[in-house]
Structure 1
Amino acid sequence: MSTLSVEFKRGFSATSMGAVAWRAARGSIALIAFLALWEVLPRTGWVDATFLPPFSAVLRALFEMAVSGELGANLLASAARAASGFAIAVAIGVPLGLLIGWYRTLADLLNPLLEVFRNTAPLALLPVFVLVLGMGETSKVSMVVYSCLWPVVLNTVSGVRNVDPLLVRCARSMGLGSLRLFVKVVLPASVPAVFTGIRIAGAYSILVLIAAEMVGAKAGLGYLVNYSQYTFEIPKMYAGIVTLAVLGLTFNHAVVFVERRLTAWQGHR
């Protein structure tokens, strides 16, 4: 390999790394500005530090809970409940959505029921889940399943129904039967819509779980936030909220990673 080509590759690699670093820095500007305001406003008296402590105080509380093991125990409890309910919802919702989207008769039969459930707020049913299933793990996981199921089902149905008709006609003209048409054309084309529903469900799983944990739980991030408010340990309360935000971001990035793996054939910018 010539010296010129080596130098070109080095320059290209440096340029690419610089572009990646610039994009990462540019994407962090708003977050850094927000955290800086959070630190400065309580210290300058613009807001009451009793109710909104500086971000450094929140980080200190976060570190102390991490060292004591309190944060890890509550985080593990919430993550296990959210992941269990989310996984059950995806395992049920994707096949159900594919069936409803592919078979028009089944869709006509189930659509009225789906419309009722999709327009019933999960949190409105929280007392029902508690009364029927009790205040243990079952009711909390069931709440997550219920809240996550409908975004997955409805987006999967939409993905199947909105497959490009030209692709379907071309596949049929090549002699593909209904099963092979579904597996080779419809299913791959509907994957982006399916993952849109899965990402929405991931956000719902955290949101609904925290509300459920604030009612009768003895562990979990929702319990931690609620208990810290009652005992007026405000830095711990905000530390729990920050942990919830990180958990939600981690959940979302994991789903996006899997989606990019499964849709690599589409190309991503």
Structure 2
Amino acid sequence: MRAILLLALLLAGCSAGEPVRQGGIVSLNPCADQLLLALVPPERIAAISHYSQNPRASSIPLEVAERFRTTAGTAEEVIALAPDLVVATSFTPPATRAAFERAGLNTLYLDSPVTIAASRAQIAQVAAAVGAADRGRALDARIAQALQTTERRGRRPSALLFIGGDLANGDGTLLHEMMAHAGLRDAAADYGLAMTGRLPVETIVADPPAVILSPDQGGRTAATRRSLLAASGAPTREAVFPRNLVNCGGPTIPAALARLAAIRRSLGA
């Protein structure tokens, strides 16, 4: 009874403003949002995740994200939309999964790829699920071309990529592999950091990298790090790595590789 009332309230609330759209695809993850936008026409997307309207979490332009209905990912919201397909993540809570199953929703649960190969496989998986095999192959071809044009062999300058504040990207991640492909050595991995984690500035000053990549060079943590490195005489350079290239793989890979390759070229031979 409670679920029925919740659904009724949701429907009533939407009818007063934006009408409830039945069918289409509902995405509950910002990385799935950007992948769907690359694979299907906008009119097939019934809703995207609310994260894509947050510049710090999104991989798509804010003005594009604002054209779509969003949800917070609750079972009640999604079921009320009666979508043809729900694209969620492997981290979806069991209770939400069970609710989708009881409602008879067609669902696709995606992992978070930590390699380029896994990201390309996920593109093919989603493309097959939405009937967009041709667009999936075209996207994969763009990634293959980017891999060919950005590969760099030889000396690998050390680079430290901060996701934000003192949170750095380490070994075992998609960004780590892309950095290596473009000719950069992940300094966080040198420090023993796996996946992502916090690095104290003392560690960095003791063994400074050739370059620090960051999407936010104006924060207090970055300013402190910059000041201490300068005081130590470290020749560390800084480069911007846009935040919209940090969060996801898939369609982001070509642009991320191009930016990493440009940073590598700026460091010389």
Q: TM class, shorter-chain normalised?
A: under 0.3
Greater RCO (CA < 8 Å, at least 6 residues apart): 1
* Structure with higher strand content: 2
* Structure with higher helix content: 1
